[in-house]
Amino acid sequence: MLEEFEMELNLRGYSPKTTENYLNTLKNLEKYSKRSLKKLKTDDIKAYLFYLQREKGNNLKSIHRHLNAIKTFYRTNELNNAENIKLPKLTKDFPIYLKIGEIKKLISSADNTRDKTIIQLLYASGLRVSELAALNIDSIDENTVKVVRGKGGKDRITYIDPSTMKLIKEYITTRNDKENALFINKYQKRISVRSIERIIQKYAIKTDINKKITPHTLRHSFATHLLQNKANIVVIKDLLGHSNLSTTQIYTNLTDEYREDIYNKSYPLKNINL
C-alpha cells in the first residue's frame, strides 16, 4: 500500500521531500501500532498523535502535518479511518520580511560575486530556494527565469530586473567550468539547497539584522514589497507559483501593518495643534 501511495503522490506532483515525509509518518504509525495501516481504527490513530504530542514533544503544527499525511493516505485508498479526527486550528504566523534598507545591507555584505548573485536573485525573483538551486544557465533568458517543475510539479516564468541580469552575467564570466547549473559549489558541481541556506545564514549574522533571515525571508520580502508598490495580487500569486490565491493573501496583512505604520508617521493632523 505504501508503494502504491508513493506512486500516487508522484503522479499528483508532490515534491520528493513531501513524499518522503508522508511515507515516514505512515511507517512510524505502523511501527507504533504494530498492525497494518489498513487494520487501524480511528482510536489507534488518535493514540499515535497523542503519543507524538506527549512523548515526543511535537507541537500542534507538527501534529497537523502528520495528520495531513495520514488523512491523505486513507483518502487515496478510499478509506475513512482518519476522517473524523479533528485538531485545534493553527494560528497563522505572519511571514518575516526585510525592509528595503535591510535588503540592501544583506546584498552589500556578500564578499564574492556568486553569493551576492544568489542573495539578489532570491529577492528579485521570489524563487523558492529549491527552485534557485535547480536553475541552469539556460534557465535565464534576458529578463525571464524559467522555473521547471517547481513546487507541485508546475513550470512557470518569473522575471528579473536589468541590474540582477547584469550581476548574473558577471558571475558566469568568473567561472571556468562546463557545468550547466547556474550556481555551483567549490567542487564545480551544482550547489545544494543546504549550501544556499548556509550562505544566507552567514551574511545574516554578518549584517547583524535582528530578524530570522532565511532564503524564504527574501521570498516573503519580494511579495510584500510588490504589494506595497500596488502590484496586482493575482499577478504576485502567479510569480510566486502559488496554487491558491488564499496562500498569497497572507501578505495583505503585512501591507496593512505597513500602511498603518505610514499613517502613524504622517497622518494629516500630526503637525497641527488643535
Predicted confidence (pLDDT) per residue in 121-138, tens digit? 999 999 999 999 999 999
Number of H helices, E strands in the chain: 13, 3
Band (16; pLDDT cuts 50, 70, 90): confident
Integer CA distances (angstroms), 14 to 5, 17, 19, in order: 11, 8, 6
Q: Which residue matches cell numbers 502528520?
A: 66
Closest CA to 181 of 118, 225, 238: 118
* Pair 70, 38: CB distance under 8 Å: no
Q: What is the rounded CA–CA span in Å between residue 226 and residue 232? A: 8
Residues with Cβ within 8 Å of residue 215, at least 6 apart in sequence? 122, 128, 129, 132, 196, 197, 200
Please name each of the domains of the chain with its CATH number.
2-76 (1.10.150), 100-264 (1.10.443.10)
Regarding pTM above 0.85, the answer is no
- What is the total residue count of the chain? 274
Q: What is the pLDDT of residues 204-245, one digit of tens each?
A: 999 989 999 999 999 999 999 998 888 888 888 989 988 788
Q: Mind telling me the catalytic residues?
A: 128, 151, 216, 219, 242, 251
Q: Name residue 136's beta-bridge partners.
A: 181
Contact at 8 Å (CB) between 109 and 98?
A: no
